Amino acid sequence: MEMIVLVIAASTALSAFVAIGVGRYRAGKSSSDHNSVLGYFFSSVGAFYSFLLAFVVVNTWSSLTSAQTNIYEESSNLPGMYYNVSVFPDEDRIALQTTLKAYAHAVIDHEWPAMDRGEASPEVNRLLEDLRRQVLAIQPQNPQQSALYGAMLGHMGKLAATRRVRLNQAHPSIPTPFWIGLIGGGVMLIGVGMGFHAPKIWMHVVLMAVLALVVSSSLCLARTMDHPFHGGIKVPPTAFHIAIRQMGESP
């Protein structure tokens, strides 16, 4: 978060200083015709860039909310399996319930920090395999157990699938060349704005500083939301804390 604030402040201050220098250099040299020519170009470029930037912000926000939804869907499978196995013998029940709790704790303690680096946790990998092995080893003995066992298999499949989605979402969805184009477009837009002439230097400085502030903050916001498990707006593991409480244990 500190880096984001620094980038926004630096770009705003740099634009203001450049605007001061340009204003002093061009004092008395610009005309209304000059502003009119630049105005048409600035309007066209600005409209296209605004549309492109808005598309990126909306897309990254959608990715962030999708990650949150997927996490709650993933974690909800844990208490479902926890209570479904309660009708089975203690040997199967205790082992599976213990592993389910360990899985939830491992996701919070190990996988969340790993996803901050774009990685998966080997500990969670191992526990997921243990869960799969324990579920497949259960042998239903009556219709009630058979019905709940089918539900457990469904929960197991959804747990593995939603975890894969979560790990994929730990990586940015917008490619680097696209970001280079966005940053380059923002620099070009501010550069064109520097060519305008204002009656007072301070007016031009304020306008350029505001433009740089809007562009840089929008880019930083989109960049942060494109990493759902990294940065200042990362998704917390709240859903897994809730699942742990639902399984009768304090997080």
Q: Where are the domains of the chain?
A: 40-247
Mean pLDDT taken over the chain: 85
In this prediction, residue 249 carries a pLDDT of: 67
Residue 104: the pLDDT is 96
Position 35 scores a pLDDT of: 67
Q: Percent of the chain having pLDDT more than 90?
A: 39
pLDDT of residue 206: 83
**pLDDT tens sequence across 85-140:** 999 988 889 999 999 999 999 999 999 999 998 899 999 999 999 999 999 999 99
Q: Is the predicted pLDDT of residue 251 greater than 70, yes or no?
A: no
Nearest to 243 by CA among 79, 68, 67: 79
Rounded Cα gap, residues 121 and 95, in angstroms: 22
How far apart CA 215 and CA 84 sit, in angstroms, is 52
pLDDT confidence bin for 179, thresholds 50/70/90: confident
| Better pLDDT: 109 or 33 | 109
Q: What is the mean pLDDT of residues 220-244?
A: 87
Among 67-71, 108-112, 127-131, 170-174, the minimum mean pLDDT is found in: 170-174
Name, in order, each residue with C-beta under 8 angstroms of 76's C-beta and a sequence gap of 6 or more: 239, 243
Q: What is the pLDDT of residue 118?
A: 87
Asked whether residue 26 carries a pLDDT value surpassing 80, the answer given is no
Distance in angstroms (rounded) separating the CA atoms of residues 219 and 49: 12
Whose tokens are 């048409």? That residue is 40
Question: Which range has the top average pLDDT, 12-21, 227-236, 237-246?
Answer: 237-246
Residue closest to 180 by CA, chosen among 56, 61, 58, 64 = 56
Output the pLDDT for position 52.
84
**Mean pLDDT value of segment 173-199:** 81
* Separation in Å, CA 97 to CA 23, 45, 91, 103, 144: 70, 59, 10, 10, 19
Question: Binning pLDDT at 50, 70 and 90, where does residue 70 land?
Answer: very high
Query: DSSP assignment, residue 197?
Result: -
Q: Is there a contact between 96 and 85 (Cβ–Cβ < 8 Å)?
A: yes
pLDDT at residue 221 in the model: 84
Phi/psi of residue 23, each to 5°? -65, -40
| Residue 22's pLDDT band (cuts 50, 70, 90) | low
Number of alpha carbons in the 13 Å side-chain half-sphere of residue 249: 16
> How far is 140 from 196, CA to CA, in rounded Å?
78
* Alpha carbons 133 and 50: distance in angstroms, whole number: 52
Please give the pLDDT value at position 51: 86
pLDDT class for 82, splitting at 50, 70, 90?
A: very high
Residue partners of 59: CB distance under 8 A and separation at least 6? 173, 174
Task: Report in angstroms the alpha-carbon separations of 194 from 40, 128, 200.
Answer: 14, 57, 13
